[in-house]
Amino acid sequence: MGDLLPQRELRRPHPGIRGLPDQGRAQVRLSGPGHDPGRVPRAVHLGGGHVRAGGFRPHRIRDHEGRAVSRARGLALLLLAGSLWLPAGAAPQGAPSPGQSRLPSAEGAQTSTEIRDRYGRPLRTVLAQEGESRSPVRLEEVSPWMPLATLAAEDRRFFSHAGVDLRAVARALWQNARSGRRVSGGSTLSEQLVRALHPRPRTWGGKLAEAFDALLLETRQDKREILEGYLNEVSYGNRCRGIGAAAREYFGVPASELTLAQSALLAGVPKSPKRYDPRRYPEAAAVRQRRVLERMREWGWLDADSHRLARAEKLKVEPRRAAFAAPQFTEYVLRRAERGAVIDTTLDAGLQERLQGVLAKNLERLAGHQVTNGAAVVLDNATGDILAWVGSADFNDPRHQGQVDGVTAPRQPGSALKPFAYGLALSLGARASDLLRDEPMHFTNGFSPKNYDETFHGPVRLREALACSFNIPAVRVAERFGAARLLGALRAFGLESLRESADHYGIGLVLGNGEVSLLELTNAYAALARGGVWMPVRALPGEAAAARRVLDRESAFIVTDILADNAARAGAFGLNSPLHLPFPFAAKTGTSKDYRDNWALGYTPEWTIGVWVGNFDGQPMRRVSGISGAAPVLRDAALLVYERSASGPFPVPAGIRELEVCPESGDQPGPWCPGAMREVFAKKHPPARVCSLHRPPVEIASVPAPRRPALLSVEFPQPGDVFKIDPATPLGAQALRLRAASEESVAWTVDGVALPPGEAWWALRPGRHRAAASLRRDGRLLQSRPVHFLVVR
């Protein structure tokens, strides 16, 4: 930086200033119209290399007439003036004393912290301790225009004085005397840096102390360090201390990317940060900017073209930022990250903003049901990256505890823990086709589980029991391995908030009587999406992600296949519930006791979403379940994420087989079974036996049975068919036409009730039903096997 900038080099911005060779103290005199010759550095902004301190220090100080004055003489004069005029208590203290460290460096200076999203967009700025935004930069990290514009605005002879510019002081005294008020200061950059580091009263004594300290400063620091210190320490208004913070505050760019026009605007601000505030007084700031550019042109630091282009540039000052985005997430980051100038995170600010809107829209819908808050989080399955984190409906709503973080607050998850219990059961040999008894249960401690619909469904397949979230079958499954083993499995999935003992929770743990956080639970579902592999979530890109297997691939896939089976859950939620999406999507809801908490969690192979809805004060909602409260939020969020990141089908592990089973027993179909349906199995756990539920009549038991009875069969409906009631058509006008494989007239029964003779139409009504056909031939009664089907709204 010791070289001087020749006029021809100034016509080019960065390349003309960066990378010039260091030539010690070589100087070039520049003359401009109407101005005395001046000196300006050739490489104010170094592109690299070591610069000797001596390259910045003039050997001589000049008085206001340009006569050379030795450094020692100048210092002696100032010391004498200081001893005569300084009042008590105004002793010089700004420059570092021999025992003190040097000026604060960019590396060691106190800094504010800017938290950014994964694309570099700002989320929040945490101010330094004195309540200012700081982002210290080294001189080589600043646009080359900024130092030049600063010298033009504040201290043209910076490289020709030893800390005090006697000519500037004399001129300021004369101008102030003529006007009768203070119109000029005459302070050098060195004096202004001293003032920024050690503010004093604006008195003659304070002014002399600053001058004294500026001379001492120049004996200890080279010009480059002083210029860098000035750019990092002066105020640019709006709580910005230093050019690093100012460049981002006003133009949203690092200091290295400031244009000539932007540099000239910012260089004019420190003279009076309030008067030249680019936001509040843009006209005054523009006038000051034009004056800086005019000086650079007049002094030969700019050619006419550069000056004209800079004046013509339309500057867009960034609007004042909101207090911060993703407040709960940034708090989480600050607890984990070491504070510095910039913290880059995994969050997607665009997704975050839209997810906040999704939550707000759905909470408006629920306002009449005593629902005040909610939270949502989105994870990237491949990395564990947190893509969005909405901690509450409104962070600035104290009435509804908006500063509580619903993503990390522990709450009861209700049925949302069931998939992990079923996953454990599958890993121990259970099958999706197994029949589970949904009948009354009573425990000695008084615990009697009930289903959400307060009915019992008899024998149900495991697939249907999980998909429909029946409570009693889930308790029966958990009984097989006990609360202790279930608790261990849940902790392996990262649910560390379950800190009590297994005896404390008991078997009711499968129904969600413990407390977990939304972040933990969402990441546990992400482990299912990964095929049984858990890894920690990441808020910072550099965080290590140590993965571990917590469930075998086959069991994780079967759980996923069930949670993505819209037909399997239709009996409880209907075919068109909020969980049904136009792409492969596994989902589960949960509702805690007394409707205090709603949960909905869902995933694709690529990403996982978790939603909680409720009240932070624990007040119950008005009969809002997971399917009516949190599930619509999940649906809207999933459509939003899918729009940004489409997802494909779930990959099928090599250890999975698809086989036929009897729809009523879940075993291999026998010759007397009414039909067959497809089911997925782990190769190591195929169906173990042939169906024994369906047997031939006793009187012909000794006769070999055919593979399928051909006497009479039902052609329509087929076993397992699901029919949906059309809401736009009156229920009485909707019916099924039953059809049997016979040309003769048959009689029909549905649910044991006979239809009128010759009638084949049956009026639809919601629920599970059983249809059978019969006819008489040659005096014998022929009967079909019953066909089970489902009607939903």
Mean pLDDT of residues grouped by 10 in the chain (793 residues)? 34 33 30 35 37 32 41 43 40 40 55 87 80 87 96 91 80 66 70 88 79 88 92 93 92 94 97 95 97 96 94 92 83 86 91 97 94 97 97 93 96 98 98 94 82 88 96 96 97 97 96 97 99 97 89 98 93 90 96 95 98 96 93 97 90 95 88 85 92 70 47 84 80 82 83 77 85 80 83 83
Cβ pair 215, 42 in contact under 8 A: no
State the Cα–Cα distance between residues 147 and 205, nearest whole angstrom.
30
How far is the C-alpha of 412 from the C-alpha of 402, rounded, in Å? 20
Of 187, 190, 415, 497, the catalytic one is 415
* 0.85 surpassed by pTM: no
- Smallest CA-to-CA distance from 107 within 140, 129, 132 is with 140
* Residue ranges of the chain that CATH labels 2.60.40.10: 710-793
- C-alpha–C-alpha distance, residues 425 and 427, integer Å: 5
Tokens of 342: 């910039």
Distances (CA, A) of 676 to 34, 48, 140, 603, 741: 101, 77, 76, 30, 17
Amino acid 134: pLDDT: 85
3-state SS of 414-481?
Answer: HHHHHHHHHHHHHHCCCCCCCEEEECCCCCCCCCCCCCCCCCCCEEEEHHHHHHCCCHHHHHHHHHHH
Residues of the chain with CATH 1.10.3810.10: 7-50+108-312
Q: How far apart are CA 133 and CA 212, in angstroms?
A: 29
Q: CATH homologous superfamily of domain 710-793?
A: Immunoglobulins (2.60.40.10)
415 is catalytic: yes
Q: What's the pLDDT at 772?
A: 87
Sequence-separated (6 or more) residues with CB below 8 Å from residue 220: 95, 96, 102
Residue 175 has a pLDDT of: 64
Could you tell me the CATH superfamily of domain 367-644? DD-peptidase/beta-lactamase superfamily (3.40.710.10)
- Predicted confidence at residue 86, as pLDDT, reads 40
- pLDDT computed for residue 30 by the predictor: 30
SS3 content of the chain, % helix, strand, coil (to 5): 35, 15, 50
Which among 678, 675, 710 is positioned nearest to 788, based on CA atoms? Answer: 675
Residues 6+ apart with CB under 8 A from 302: 10, 11, 260, 293, 296, 310
Which pLDDT does position 109 carry in this prediction?
Answer: 58
Within 8 A by CB and 6+ apart from 449, the residues are 441, 471, 472, 475, 508, 511
Secondary structure E strands in 626-766: 656-661, 677-682, 714-716, 722-724, 735-737, 739-740, 747-750, 753-754, 761-763
Architecture per CATH, domain 7-50+108-312, reads as Orthogonal Bundle (1.10)
pLDDT at 37: 32
154 is catalytic: yes
Residue 508: what pLDDT?
95
| Active-site choice (9, 114, 154, 679) | 154
pLDDT at 323: 59
